[in-house]
Structure 1
Amino acid sequence: MNPVSFDDAETYEPDEGWRRVAMAGSDKFSFEWFEKPPGHSSPMHDHENEQVCICLAGELTVATEDDEVTLSKHDSVHLESNEAHRVENTGDERAVGLDVFAPGRSFDFWTDRE
């Protein structure tokens, strides 16, 4: 067993107010808790990892090149490997979500981007 305390977990803030926290994970999968301020959107991007994005609070709109879905509390969406997408807080309050990646990844995905 390998417990991770939320307060002691590795944290990264790619943009102001967009905070990500690395939770339990391995090379096979990883969990990243995140929060986004109203109006914030990640850039359109893709990665080799499959991803499930779960909305825990607020509203998140997930857009691909061909489709768009708005998630409310407890809704989720699955993104295939290399499927270009962005995640935006389209609500009026802070949005909180949980991303699950398989295989697992580290914050290097964002910190090593040009």
Structure 2
Amino acid sequence: MKPVPFDEAETYEPEDGWRRVSMAGSDQFSFEWFEKPPGHSSPMHDHENEQVCLCLEGELTVVTEEDSVTLQENDSVLLEANETHRVENDGEELAVGLDVFAPGRDFDFWTDREE
């Protein structure tokens, strides 16, 4: 067993107010808790990992090249590997979510990323 206390987990803030916390994971899967301030959107991107995005608080809108869906608390969506997407907080309150990636990944995806 490998517990990960939230306050001791690796944290990364790709942009002001957009915080990600690396929770338990392995090469097969990883969990990233995140918070998005009102009006924030990640850039359109894709990755080799399948992703499940779960909305824990507020609302999150997930946009792909073909569609969009707004997640309410406890709703989730599956994004296939290499599916181009972004995640937005169009609301007026902080949104909190949990991303699950398979295979697992680390913050290098954002820190080593070229626009």
**What SS does the aligned partner of 1:93 have?**
coil
Partner of 2:70: 70
**Superimposed CA distance per residue, residues 69-97 of structure 1 (whole angstroms, 9 cap, x where no aligned partner):** 00010000000000000000011100000
- Alpha-carbon separation, structure 1, partners of 2:36 and 2:52: 17
- Alpha-carbon separation, structure 1, partners of 2:112 and 2:76: 27
**What amino acid is aligned across from residue 50 of structure 1 in structure 2?**
E
Task: Note the residue ranges of structure 1 that are not aligned, 5 or more in a row.
Answer: none
**What SS does the aligned partner of 2:99 have?**
strand
CA drift of 1:41 comes to: 0.2
- Alpha-carbon separation, structure 2, partners of 1:16 and 1:4: 24
RMSD: 0.3
Partner of 1:111: 111
- Alpha-carbon separation, structure 1, partners of 2:90 and 2:70: 8
**What amino acid is aligned across from residue 5 of structure 2 in structure 1?**
S
Task: Note the residue ranges of structure 2 that are not aligned, 5 or more in a row.
Answer: none
- Does 2:94 align with 1:94? yes
Paired positions, count: 114
Give aligned-pair identity as a percent: 81
- Alpha-carbon separation, structure 2, partners of 1:25 and 1:113: 21
**What amino acid is aligned across from residue 33 of structure 2 in structure 1?**
W
**What amino acid is aligned across from residue 73 of structure 1 in structure 2?**
E
Normalization by structure 2: what TM-score?
Answer: 0.99
CA drift of 1:113 comes to: 0.7
- Alpha-carbon separation, structure 1, partners of 2:28 and 2:7: 24
- Alpha-carbon separation, structure 2, partners of 1:61 and 1:90: 7
- Does 2:4 align with 1:4? yes
**What SS does the aligned partner of 1:66 have?**
coil
